[in-house]
Chains A and B, each alone.
Chain A
Amino acid sequence: MIPFDYRRPDDIGTAVATVTGNPRAAFLGGGTNLVDHMKLGVAEPELLVDVTGLTSRDIERLPDGGLRVGAGVRNSDLAADPLVRERFPVLAQALLSGASGQLRNLATTGGNLLQRTRCVYFQDVTTPCNKREPGQGCSALEGYHRHHAVLGASRQCVAVHPSDLAVALAALDAVVRVQGPGGERTIPAETLHRLPGEHPERDTVLEHGELITAVDLPGLPFGPRSRYRKARDRASFAFALVSVAAALDVAGGLVRDVRIAFGGLAHKPWRARLAEDALRGRPAAPDEFRAAAEAELADAQPLRDNGFKVPMARNMLVSVLTELSAEDGAA
């Protein structure tokens, strides 16, 4: 690890100005990903600006039935929050399916969203990787890529985003609040992360120095009927092969409304709008769910060793929606 300076400013404005003014500065949250990358040589900041005491650790009620989650709220506290469990079970389940108990106690809401891919080549500085060093080439294209993308990838990068939280937030139409040198702005969670294109080194649309301060969860009347499912190589403490976040509103046997996002399929959480559009107004039935999933996945372009993800994603979506449509209260 290269030497670095550490600062803990008194306010968010100073933190933002400090990082903005130094291209090699980085914000420090719980550190569970960044410190690991510093040990591996993947990240080499010369200045860490600790924001754990600055961003809010509160979960506030919004007037529309939603919640505002401070960026400093720990993953464990967010998952355990009674209102989150009641109104947005998909969010609690997504968080609980990620990492381990002792990591969730450290990891923050903002930091979770900004964690980087677990592509083995990205994390190994001895192998070429366009995300780590643009222009080096992608080792995963012909290498070990079981975990990699089947949707929206480019020849430059086939990595997937690892956050479970981000998948739930994309499905819930969450809004990310950001403080930057020019003031505050809001970004739909669905568009916070980007597809790799020609610039896989950029995971998100954030500019250097912009700090996530909170995440707003808008009220969703059918939020209580939501769920997160994750398939992985071991039963616990592993990243997703495929994950599904879904919320379903059924009336008179028909789909009145639905929210769907996939994890593990792309460089960003994959909001399944084609599937959602296909389902609205249609019978809440497995064959309809299957057709919607297939519509969403029609453009999938698997690599040599990850073709299993396409039927896995389809089957998981059918299973989750079928379970949600059978829950108490579904008419």
Chain B
Amino acid sequence: MESEISLTVDGVRHDLVVDTRVSLLDALRERLGITSPKKGCDHGQCGTCTVLLDGRRATTCLALAVAHDGADITTSAGLESGGTPHPLHQAFLDHDGFQCGYCTPGQICSAAGMLDEAESGWPSAVTTDLARDPVLDAEEIRERMSGNLCRCGAYVNIVAAISEVAGRRSA
């Protein structure tokens, strides 16, 4: 079964015909050649396929492309502007927030979405007072980023990178 859909990815609109079985991740990578989001577990557990889907972080491996006709998607590659890296890109470089780099685009998109969520006052499982705006300390960042695995174990530096950007945004 095939279906016509359109996706806007990093500001560019694409019209394509997909089999209903195609995940959003496979549509991006295999059909559109947009390889910034990576395929890790393909079961929603590792987070390496994370993008900003209509402005929110989301895994793309468990999303059917056909169910997201018309979606506006931003990948890690699309977060740069005019050749300037996004502050999260730069912070990951400055803090060695990766080794092999495979999980990095997902980490970056997840962190970007997470910072917006925290700025909107969303609590997390480690937020003790649900009535107050959360403060993004290391414990909060680790909890909020638990959907992104890093098999190299660069977590300490990932948390440092995100902390720096979070601190600058709240300053």
Contact = CB atoms under 8 A, between A and B. Distances in A.
A80 B78 CA distance: 27
Interface of B: 1, 3, 19-21, 23, 42-44, 47, 50, 53, 56-59, 62-64, 66-67, 110, 113-114, 117, 120-125, 127, 130-131, 142-148
A99 interface: yes
B20 A97 contact: no
Contact of B43 (A39, A97, A235): A39
Contacts, number: 110
A8 B21 CA distance: 15
A80 B118 CA distance: 10
A31 B20 CA distance: 13
A85 B130 CA distance: 6
B110 A101 contact: yes
A78 to B, nearest CB: 11
Nearest to B149: A237
Given A1-B21, A48-B20, A96-B124, A32 B143 contact: no
Interface of B is mostly: loop
B131 A86 contact: yes
Contacts of A237: 146-147
A34 to B, nearest CB: 9
5 contacts: A6-B3, A79-B123, A101-B57, A102-B47, A102-B58
A132 B56 CA distance: 34
Given A6-B67, A235-B146, 17 more contacts: A3-B21, A6-B20, A35-B63, A35-B64, A38-B21, A50-B67, A52-B67, A79-B122, A80-B121, A80-B123, A85-B130, A85-B131, A92-B123, A102-B57, A102-B113, A103-B59, A106-B59
B113 A101 contact: yes
B64 A6 contact: yes
Contacts of B43: 36, 39
B67 A31 contact: yes
Contact of B122 (A6, A36, A39, A80): A80
A236 B1 contact: no
